[in-house]
Amino acid sequence: MSQLENKQFDSKITRRDLIKLFGATAVAGTGIFGASQQAYAKSAAHVVVLGGGVGGATLAKYLRFADPDVKITIIEQYPEYITCLRSNDVIIGMHTLDELTFNLDTIKNKYNVNVVIDTVIGADFDKKTVRTAKGDTFSYDKLVVSPGIDFRFEDYEGYDATLAEGAFPHAYKAGPQTLELRRQLLALPQGGTAIIATPQNPFRCPPGPYERASFFAEYFKEHNPTAKLLVLDPKDRFTKDVPFKKAWERLYGYKSDNSLIEWVSGSEGGRVLRLDAKNMTVETEGGSYKADLINIIPNQRAGKLAQIIGLTDSSGWCPIQRDTMESALHKEVYVLGDSSIADEMPKSGYSANSQAKVCAQAIADALKGNAPGKAIYSNVCYSLAGQNYGVSIAAIYEVRDGRIVAKGKSAGVSPITDKPAQPILEAVYQKNWQREFVKDVFS
Amino acid sequence: MKLRNLILSAGFLAMAQNASAEIMASGSAMAWQCAPCHGTNGQEFVEAMPPLAGMPAKQFIDAMIAYREGTRPAIIMDRVARGFTDEEIKAMAYWFEKQPVKQWENTSLNEALEADATARSTGGQQ
Ligand SMILES: Cc1cc2nc3c(=O)[nH]c(=O)nc-3n(C[C@H](O)[C@H](O)[C@H](O)COP(=O)(O)OP(=O)(O)OC[C@H]3O[C@@H](n4cnc5c(N)ncnc54)[C@H](O)[C@@H]3O)c2cc1C
């Protein structure tokens, strides 16, 4: 390629063009690149990221790819992040919480990101500042918010956050509750009954409750074969229900007289109305059930932070511009991950990671005054219906008529075949995927 | 504009790319979406999913089209590939071809930025 033609010199040369012409190393040697390695130029824009979970960490890393100069700060409330991903495995002892614990050190060091451990308590969108619990104020040019989810305990009479921290863990944020649920599963009397109550749509990790149910059944099969799991569902369908139920038939006698799992759909009265903690009883639209273990995974809404600072609409979730993830309510503010309304995309870690990349490019483009490129999103969710039996759902997404929808004929769940290799390979991929995914997020 | 001319001079592949630039995501934007399974910039060499970094473009294109048309057995890649047009597949292929053939953790930020710049300037994308 003939690079040094005269006409090139009268165009506005951006950093990328320079790298294109001379290579990043050469440019770095001139100090142009070096600036971002040591100190930010005074004029560099400041992007502040609230929440250093899947969405926030991915955003910081990929924004650095898209803009070597921008100043990036993550404000995250906890020094360590425990992934929900594979936290169901912890309940059956397939993983430890330690193996699921990550921090932002690589994000900070490799991608030159300021990491502040503090809780954000407010934002002023006119002044473009955020406030923290420790009393600090941060100014931003662009704000990114990825605070995860909050629970609607008020949808269940007799259930609340205190009970969840105690004898009735939802275990839908990984941590001490995950370990408590494991303890309860192991302590279940022989022939006892466990209940998993699943949430109404939309909620974080749509296959999560059903993967957990599968693990309970697998555990019973080996250690407590006369126990029973009751799955109480406010819905009539759930994600990957066809391959999940097929797996339950193959592995846990589902639909037979001594099935380890029974699933009560919404039309059959599966919606939980009330928890009677004292009598270990759950009241549903269809009747009351007594159990030895009760795991209610509550209905959900956008993370508290998003509610407090005014990014949610009447649905409890955050409306966004679909091609950039910019809030539909406030300019220069972007919402990622579970909190956002992303139409056909499920609330998964994969989705949060995918959205963060689109958002990173959109922010870099906006800071340079360029129009956003065409957005492309993706999601692949592998779940386990048993330790060696995987089921998956996958799709590529694009924005059409203002909604994020499946692109081409990409959307689909695992086919049901008679080939045992399919679910076994899906389980292998599941495990590979988890290891790989956290690297893409945190390193 | 000048830059675009420059890229066009890189050849026919880049031209095909530019022609559809308006309606298509960039090669890097699409390639980034592959990272959760294939590693950041396709640079995952120790897991079951094949690394994409440095893969000859033709190999990538042939594989993706075969997945999409159902002529190559797949676990999920058939579903994924059905989301991409020929032009999109090519743009990803050219971008991945230029990424370093080594594990992501051993790659510096500057190496990555340089590889990205190279991929873009040789028609990997615009
Ligand atoms: C059991 C289970 C299994 C799952 N399995 C999978 C899976 O296999 N694959 C998959 O793709 N997804 C899975 N998920 C879903 C995945 O965990 C979430 O979709 C993902 O974490 C969403 O990312 P996020 O950035 O929106 O939120 P999070 O990752 O939850 O990050 C939010 C961050 O914001 C911080 N934060 C919140 N408020 C504040 C504040 N005020 N100040 C400072 N920091 C704050 C939090 O501490 C947290 O670190 C699973 C979820 C569960 C529950």
Give chain B's count of helices (H) and strands (E).
8, 0
pLDDT digits (tens, 9 = 90+) for B61-90: 999 999 999 999 999 999 999 999 999 999
Neighbour order of strands in the sheet with A137-139: A120-124, A129-132, A137-139
> Is residue A352 within 6 Å of ligand 1 at its C-beta?
yes
Q: What's the rounded Cα separation, in Å, for the pair A95 and A375? A: 36
Q: Which of B36, B80, B82 sits opposite A433 (nearest CB)?
A: B36
A411-422 b/e (C-beta count within 10 Å ≥ 16 → b):
bbbbeeeeeeeb
Output the residue whose Cα is nearest ligand 1's atom 37.
Answer: A147
pLDDT of the residue at A43? 83
pLDDT of the residue at A16? 46
User: Which residues of chain B make contact with A396, given a CB cutoff of 8 A?
Assistant: 33, 80, 82-84
Q: Which of residues 35-54 of B touch A (CB under 8 A)?
A: 35-40, 44, 47-49
pLDDT digits (tens, 9 = 90+) for B83-121: 999 999 999 999 999 999 999 999 999 999 999 999 998
- In the 3-class helix/strand/coil scheme, how is chain A assigned residue by residue? CCCCCHHHHHCCCCHHHHHHHHCHHHHHHCCCCHHHHHCCCCCCCEEEEECCCHHHHHHHHHHHHHCCCCEEEEEECCCCEECCCCHHHHHCCCCCCHHHEECCHHHHHHCCCEEEECCEEEEECCCCEEEECCCCEEECCEEEECCCEEECHHHCECCCHHHHHCCCCCCCCCCHHHHHHHHHHHHCCCCCEEEEECCCCCCECCCHHHHHHHHHHHHHHHHCCCCEEEEECCCCCCCCHHHHHHHHHHHHCCCCCCCCEEEECCCCCCCEEEEECCCCEEEECCEEEECCEEEECCCEEECHHHHHCCCCCCCCCECECCCCCEECCCCCEEECHHHECCCCCCECHHHHHHHHHHHHHHHHHHHCCCCCCCCCEEEEEEEEEECCEEEEEEEEEEEECCEEEECCCCCEECCCCCCCHHHHHHHHHHHHHHHHHHHHHHC
Output the residue whose Cα is nearest ligand 1's atom 34.
Answer: A51
Q: What are chain B's domains?
A: 25-121 (1.10.760.10)
Output the residue whose Cα is nearest ligand 1's atom 11.
Answer: A349
pLDDT of the residue at A39? 54
Query: What tokens does A405 get?
Result: 């929808």
Contact flag A8-B6 (C-beta cutoff 8 Å): yes
Across chain A, which has 443 residues, the per-10-residue mean pLDDT values are 32 41 38 41 90 98 97 98 98 96 98 98 98 98 98 98 98 98 98 98 98 98 98 98 96 96 98 98 98 98 98 98 98 98 98 98 97 96 95 97 96 90 91 95 97
What's at A261, amino acid-wise?
I
> Is residue A338 within 6 Å of ligand 1 at its C-beta?
yes
Q: Decide if B10 touches A, using CB distance below 8 A.
A: yes
How far is B43 from chain A, CA to nearest CA, in Å? 10
Q: Decide if B79 touches A, using CB distance below 8 A.
A: yes
pLDDT of the residue at A26? 38
pLDDT of the residue at B121? 86
Where residue B11 falls (left for φ over 0; alpha for ψ -120 to 50; beta otherwise) is: left
> Is residue A430 within 6 Å of ligand 1 at its C-beta?
no
What's this model's pTM, rounded to 2 decimal places? 0.90
pLDDT of the residue at B22? 52
Q: Which of residues 382-401 of A touch B (CB under 8 A)?
A: 392, 394-397
> Is residue A52 within 6 Å of ligand 1 at its C-beta?
yes
pLDDT of the residue at A32? 36
Contact flag B83-A406 (C-beta cutoff 8 Å): yes
Task: Output the CA torsion sign for A352, A426, A343, A268.
Answer: negative
pLDDT of the residue at A41? 66
Query: What tokens does B113 get?
Result: 């930025």
pLDDT digits (tens, 9 = 90+) for B9-37: 344 444 444 444 458 999 999 999 999 99
Contact flag B6-A5 (C-beta cutoff 8 Å): yes
Query: What tokens does A153 get?
Result: 């305990």
Span from the CA of A347 to the centroid of ligand 1 (angstroms): 9
How far is B96 from chain A, CA to nearest CA, in Å? 15
User: Which residues of chain B make contact with A21, given a CB cutoff of 8 A?
Assistant: 121
Q: What are chain A's domains?
A: 3-150+301-442 (3.50.50.60), 153-298 (3.50.50.60)
Q: Which residue from A269, A274, A276 is spatially nearest to A234, judged by alpha carbons?
A: A269
Q: What's the rounded Cα separation, in Å, for the pair A219 and A229? A: 11
User: Which residues of chain A make contact with B81, given a CB cutoff of 8 A?
Assistant: 410
Q: What's the rounded Cα separation, in Å, for the pair A155 and A145? A: 26
